[in-house]
């Protein structure tokens, strides 16, 4: 591994997405507001699901894992970006860059697999409601959730190890607001064609295979929902599935745009915009789309507030 350069300072420089113009200062403030909302909303979801026994079901357990992943993902990138903008120091150490790459890639991969597990959960709940707790028991649910974390971490280790093998010479300015693997490839003076093939294979495994499972699951779900005689049941099922599909579309669409395009078609500006969307906006939208408008979650929130008021 040859991260060290002939220059005095081996640190990388994160170019960021904001300058100090009034418009960019406003956008930076907006991002900080979104970060705060995502932090509070995802923390609230995790706590509500932990505290309220009515939410101790496989579906809500998986939602708590999604919120935890989103919480970690947004904390991997935004605090460093904010510190760089406010302090004017854009450098990031080699160790810091390594940590960002591992956490970022691991969490993205884990979410890909978790979303497919959640699709399977909805498929079983809607298509086989009477057998739900047998087919989606706690042991299986825990195993699938743990597998999502493990497979994500494995992907992070593979991509980090490959990235560390490159030599970085010349400019060390990363055209991103965090250490992103595609942005780092442009700085390498090593032939990265083999690694680009590896990234593509990883994307097939981490993105297309889970997405295929999601499509199959929801195709079966839609067929079952259409056959339902109960209008209320059909509406409830469609509402749940629509929420999930919105999240899936935003997440997988942005991830495939970033990681499955050849380097020749890349634009730093486009990459920054799309990366901002799924590393900052999506973690805020997930709890809003998925959970906080759910009646069970609203009741749990009211119950927790009621307990607090009664103590006061």
Confirm if 299 and 54 have CB atoms less than 8 A apart: yes
Give percent above pLDDT 90 in the chain.
22
Q: Report the distance separating Cα 236 and Cα 239, nearest Å.
A: 5
Confirm if 194 and 107 have CB atoms less than 8 A apart: no
2 confidence band (pLDDT: 50, 70, 90): very low
Mean of all residue pLDDT scores within the chain: 82
Q: Is the pLDDT of residue 131 over 80?
A: yes
Query: What digits encode the pLDDT tens for the residues 111-123?
Result: 989 999 999 998 9
Q: Is the pLDDT of residue 227 over 60?
A: yes
What's the residue count for the chain?
312
**pTM of the entire structure?**
0.86
pLDDT score, position 264 = 62
Query: What digits encode the pLDDT tens for the residues 253-291?
Result: 877 777 776 666 667 777 788 888 878 888 888 888 766
Q: Report the distance separating Cα 96 and Cα 80, nearest Å.
A: 10
pLDDT score, position 230 = 66
Confirm if 187 and 168 have CB atoms less than 8 A apart: yes
Of the candidates 118, 126, 144, which has an alpha carbon nearest to the alpha carbon of residue 244? 118
pLDDT score, position 67 = 92
Among 64-73, 178-187, 214-223, 228-237, the minimum mean pLDDT is found in 228-237
pLDDT score, position 61 = 93
Give percent above pLDDT 70 in the chain.
88
Tell me the average pLDDT across 149-174.
Answer: 84
Q: Report the distance separating Cα 118 and Cα 45, nearest Å.
A: 16
């Amino acid at each position: 591994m040859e991260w060290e350069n002939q220059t005095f300072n081996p640190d990388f420089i994160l170019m960021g997405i904001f300058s100090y113009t009034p418009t960019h200062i406003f956008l930076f403030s907006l991002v900080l507001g979104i970060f705060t909302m995502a932090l509070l909303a995802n923390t609230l979801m995790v706590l509500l699901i932990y505290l309220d026994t009515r939410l101790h079901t496989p579906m809500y357990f998986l939602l708590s894992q999604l919120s935890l992943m989103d919480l970690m993902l947004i904390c991997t990138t935004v605090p460093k970006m904010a510190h760089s903008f406010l302090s004017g120091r854009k450098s990031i150490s080699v160790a810091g860059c390594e940590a960002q790459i591992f956490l970022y890639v691991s969490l993205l991969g884990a979410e890909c697999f978790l979303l497919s597990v959640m699709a399977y959960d909805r498929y079983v709940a809607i298509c086989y409601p009477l057998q739900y707790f047998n087919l989606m028991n706690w042991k299986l649910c825990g195993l699938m959730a743990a597998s999502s974390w493990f497979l994500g971490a494995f992907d992070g280790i593979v991509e980090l190890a490959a990235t560390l093998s490159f030599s970085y010479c010349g400019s060390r300015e990363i055209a991103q607001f965090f250490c992103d693997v595609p942005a780092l490839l442009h700085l390498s003076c090593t032939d990265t064609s083999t690694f680009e093939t590896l990234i593509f294979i990883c994307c097939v495994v981490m993105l297309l295979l889970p997405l295929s499972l999601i499509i199959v699951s929801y195709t079966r779900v839609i067929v079952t929902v259409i056959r339902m005689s109960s209008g209320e049941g059909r509406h409830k099922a469609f509402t749940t599935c629509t929420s999930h599909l919105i999240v899936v579309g935003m997440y997988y669409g942005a991830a495939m745009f970033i990681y499955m395009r050849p380097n020749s078609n890349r634009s730093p500006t486009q990459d920054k915009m799309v990366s901002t969307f799924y590393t900052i906006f999506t973690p805020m939208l997930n709890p809003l789309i998925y959970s906080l408008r759910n009646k069970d979650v609203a009741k749990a929130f009211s119950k927790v507030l009621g307990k607090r008021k009664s103590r006061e």
